[in-house]
Amino acid sequence: MTMTHERRKTRRIQVGSVPVGGGAPVSVQSMTTTKTADVEGTLAQVYALAGAGADIVRITCNEVEAAQGLAEIVPRSPVPIIADIHYQYRLALAAIEAGVHGLRLNPGNIRKEDQIKTVAREAGDRGLPIRVGVNAGSLDKDLLERYGSPVPEALVESALVEIRYLEEVDFSDIKVSVKHSNVPSMIESYRLLADSVDYPLHLGVTEAGPPPAGLIKSVAGIGTLLSEGIGDTIRFSLTADPVEEAKAGRQLLEFLGLRERKGLDLIACPSCGRAEVDVIDVATKAQQALEAANLPIQVAVMGCVVNGPGEAREADIGIAAGRGRGHLFIKGQVVRVVPEDEMVQALLEEARKLVEEGLEARLAHAEANAAEIAAAERLQLIEIQGDANRAAERRAKVAEVARSE
């Protein structure tokens, strides 16, 4: 299937490993709903979102503890992380220090020109993009008073003012959104914006609500614009499990012929100091074997048993590496412990059985004491390696940046 319209030509920016704009594939975004200070819970949701099709994940940075959490989350995330910033520009600086791959700034509540430019300079020094995220529900009060309501013209003007601030400090790694909860207003806002700038656009119907109405609104707004060639990255803003957002976004792009359909959904950690194996090599071999078997499941390949099963607990099946052995898990529950050189083969065998027999049957066939053996090996690895991700050091540095005058 091909699009009716050619895609709008835009500049290209880079969000971590994901290109946005400039003819790159339209990417899917979602946002975590956990407290960012809950590092393990947030990471588990990030992995679930990646497994469901999210290319980029946005995480709120609304307090010092959240920025500290990002310092631990970012190096362990399988996808680029965007920090969502409101009101406090210093938290944007703290998020940059935490290592995020980009920022979302809301012109409606960070309004001081000098603060915006300070953030832009810091982001520019680190090569990080900024999304100018205009939202009808938090529009600049002066614009709201002048226009009387959040009409498309007001949203676009808000975006253009913010873009000008960024451009005045030679910052151009920009993407833009003008989200509205009213679908026709959302569509018109983006059409006006597309005629005004050549930056990549992030599409979304804000506050779309729960499914099915939220899905219908999102498809109506985002799908209309994509069919016109407008849009470089998308998010379904649903009152639901964010995994549903990622799935819906991915499906929409596939249905429009903007992304390839795929049966296997393999995710892998980016590796860290804890990794006991070559994650890239294991993931590559696992993907080749599983794709050849044409198994339509979500599979996770994790570099260590310390974090792997918990972070990827939403995957149908996965393998995490220990010292000389691999922990095979289904929905986060360890069911087998196998020698390292048998990891890929064991994963393939168990994946086939999972597809044929179903989840409950395979969990019922978990090896005796597998979970206890895995827990003991996990503790042993922590004692040997210590804090390989330097969590305490990173958290302290982020807090220092956020609290400094």
The pLDDT score that the predictor gives to residue 288 is: 92
Residue with tokens 């892998």: 268
Widest distance between CA atoms in the chain: 69
- The more confidently predicted of residues 310 and 200 is 200
Q: Could you tell me the residue ranges of all domains in the chain?
A: 12-255, 265-385
Look up residue 94 and give its DSSP letter.
H
- In our burial notation (b when 16+ CB lie closer than 10 A, e otherwise), range 59-79 reads bbbbbbbbbbbbbbbbbbbbb
Chain centroid, CA 154 distance in Å:
29
- The more confidently predicted of residues 266 and 187 is 187
Please give the angle made by the CA atoms of 367, 368 and 374, to the nearest 5 degrees: 80
What CATH number has the domain spanning 12-255?
3.20.20.20
244-302 confidence digits (pLDDT tens): 999 999 999 999 999 987 778 888 887 665 666 778 888 899 999 998 998 888 899 98
The pLDDT score that the predictor gives to residue 46 is: 97
The pLDDT score that the predictor gives to residue 271 is: 66
When the pLDDT of each residue in the chain is averaged and rounded to a whole number, the result is 92
Say how many residues make up the chain: 405
Cβ atoms of residues 243 and 31 within 8 Å: no
The pLDDT score that the predictor gives to residue 197 is: 98
CA 304, CA 76: separation in Å to the nearest integer? 11
CA 44, CA 47: separation in Å to the nearest integer? 5
Element (H, E) at 293: helix 279-293
CA 49, CA 78: separation in Å to the nearest integer? 10
The percent of the chain in helix, strand and coil, each rounded to the nearest 5, is 45, 20, 35
Q: Please give the model's pTM, rounded to 2 decimal places.
A: 0.86
Segment 311-330 mean pLDDT: 86
> Which residues does residue 339 pair with via DSSP β-bridges, in sequence order?
325
The pLDDT score that the predictor gives to residue 405 is: 75
Residue 25 has pLDDT above 80, yes or no: yes
Residue with tokens 């009101």: 87
The pLDDT score that the predictor gives to residue 2 is: 47
Segment 314-321 mean pLDDT: 89
347-380 confidence digits (pLDDT tens): 999 999 999 999 999 999 999 888 888 888 777 7
The pLDDT score that the predictor gives to residue 209 is: 95
Segment 195-213 mean pLDDT: 97
The pLDDT score that the predictor gives to residue 388 is: 62
Residue 5 has pLDDT above 50, yes or no: yes
- Strands in 102-105's sheet, in edge-to-edge order, are 174-179, 130-135, 102-105, 81-85, 56-60, 27-31, 233-235, 202-203
Element (H, E) at 215: helix 213-227
- Is the preceding omega at residue 212 within 30 degrees of 0, hence cis? yes
Dihedral in degrees, nearest 10, Cα atoms 244, 245, 250, 255: 90
101-119 confidence digits (pLDDT tens): 999 999 989 989 999 999 9
Spell out the CATH class of 265-385.
alpha beta
The pLDDT score that the predictor gives to residue 369 is: 87
Segment 49-59 mean pLDDT: 95
Helix axis angle, 39-52 to 64-73, nearest 10°? 60
